[in-house]
Amino acid sequence: MRLGVLTSGGDAPGMNAAIRAVVRQADALGHEVYGIYRGYQGLLESDWAPLATRSCANILQRGGTILRTARCPELHHPERRAEAAAKLRKVGIEALVVIGGDGSFRAAEALHREHGIACAGIPGTIDNDLPGTDRTLGFDTALNTAVEAIDRIRDTASSHGRLFLVEVMGRSSGMLAVHTAIACGAEAVLYPESPNDTYESLVSQLHANWIRGKRSSIVVVAEGDGVGNAVGVGERLKRDYGLDLRVVVLGHVQRGGSPSALDRIWGSRWGSEAVRRLVAGERAFYLGEVGGVLAVQPMARILDPHPVPPKDLGALVSVLAR
């Protein structure tokens, strides 16, 4: 059996662990793997090559993805999906392992539904926003990267008695922002799904902190927050209240770096399991983790609503900031 593996969308620490596991599990079972470079864009351009087991040596600890990645809006069009399916069949790739997030899985779901391409999904996104799994590759590493950075910022904030607004990734999900806020002891958090995500509630929280004697504060802001990004919120606070504040945008530093042990372990488990299930004849599924146990979801479930941060976590930030 010839399998294809690609990484698509934003890169996430742990993707290389999954690639390595796919290649070596397939080799152990006597099957061949083609690496498809630059995600679905590379698939459309036939940019692929066989991956030997030794080609995956010493990649477990590396961030990013050795297959490189890209976003491919062309695959939103049915005729381009038909072209992609035809190219896979022409080269003899019988099943596809897709490592990516929501957009990547939606494309895989369409390839299977429309053209019968067998697809296995491995959740790779630092946003941790896919239905049917408590964990995605890269989330743990990105969370620890953000917390380490904010711990350093806290030292300066305390020394100067200053407010810092720290922007983390999360264009449409607050998972990373909320978990970061709790882990670093932030005084407030702004994220898209928050029921109290208003400028007025932030001002009220900062005022309450001041009354309690707090002279420095950390506010974590998701990049897709409804009030505005960290720069916009900071400019508004300066204009309205003359606050002495600084804005730090962590940006893509959260995507890079060596993956954590958890991301290496789950990437390895999911990569191996994807191959075993495809070889056994399963056709359209993605893997995850629920309650610490490896979970398998039908690929069509990617069309379900995305999970949101539990309400108690957002409330907990304010309670613990006292």
- Active site residues per annotation: 127
As given in the structure block, the two tokens for residue 122 are 């491995």
Residue 223 assigned as binding residue: yes
* Residue 146: other Cβ atoms inside 10 A: 26
How does strand 217-222 pair with strand 284-290?
Answer: unpaired
Residue 207 assigned as binding residue: no
Residue 71 assigned as binding residue: yes
Which amino acid makes up residue 248? Answer: V
Residue 236 assigned as binding residue: no
Residue 283 assigned as binding residue: no
Residue 171 assigned as binding residue: yes
Residue 21 assigned as binding residue: yes
Residue 80 assigned as binding residue: no
* Cα 42 to chain centroid, rounded: 21
Residue 322 assigned as binding residue: no
Q: How big is the chain by its Cα radius of gyration, in Å?
A: 21
| Angle subtended at Cα 105 by Cα 100 and Cα 106, rounded to the nearest 5 degrees | 140
Which amino acid makes up residue 214? Answer: K
> Nearest to residue 6, comparing CAs of 93, 76, 115, 132?
93
Q: How far is CA 39 from CA 44, 70, 152, 260, 320, in A?
A: 9, 6, 36, 24, 42
What are the counts of helices (DSSP H) followed by strands (DSSP E) for the chain? 10, 11
Residue 220 assigned as binding residue: no
Residue 246 assigned as binding residue: yes
Give the Cα separation of 203 and 198 in Å (integer).
Answer: 9
Residue 119 assigned as binding residue: no
C-beta of residue 22 within 8 angstroms of C-beta of residue 7: no
Q: Dihedral through CA 47, CA 52, CA 54, CA 59, nearest 10?
A: 40
Residue 154 assigned as binding residue: yes
Residue 215 assigned as binding residue: yes
Residue 24 assigned as binding residue: yes
Give the Cα separation of 112 and 278 in Å (integer).
Answer: 13
Positions at the binding site for ADP: 20-24, 154, 185-187, 212, 214-216
Per the annotation, binding residues for substrate are: 125-127, 162, 169-171, 223, 246, 252-255
Residues tagged in the binding site annotation for ATP? 10, 71-72, 101-104
Please state the residue numbers annotated as binding site.
10, 20-24, 71-72, 101-104, 125-127, 154, 162, 169-171, 185-187, 212, 214-216, 223, 246, 252-255
Indicate the annotated binding residues for Mg(2+): 102
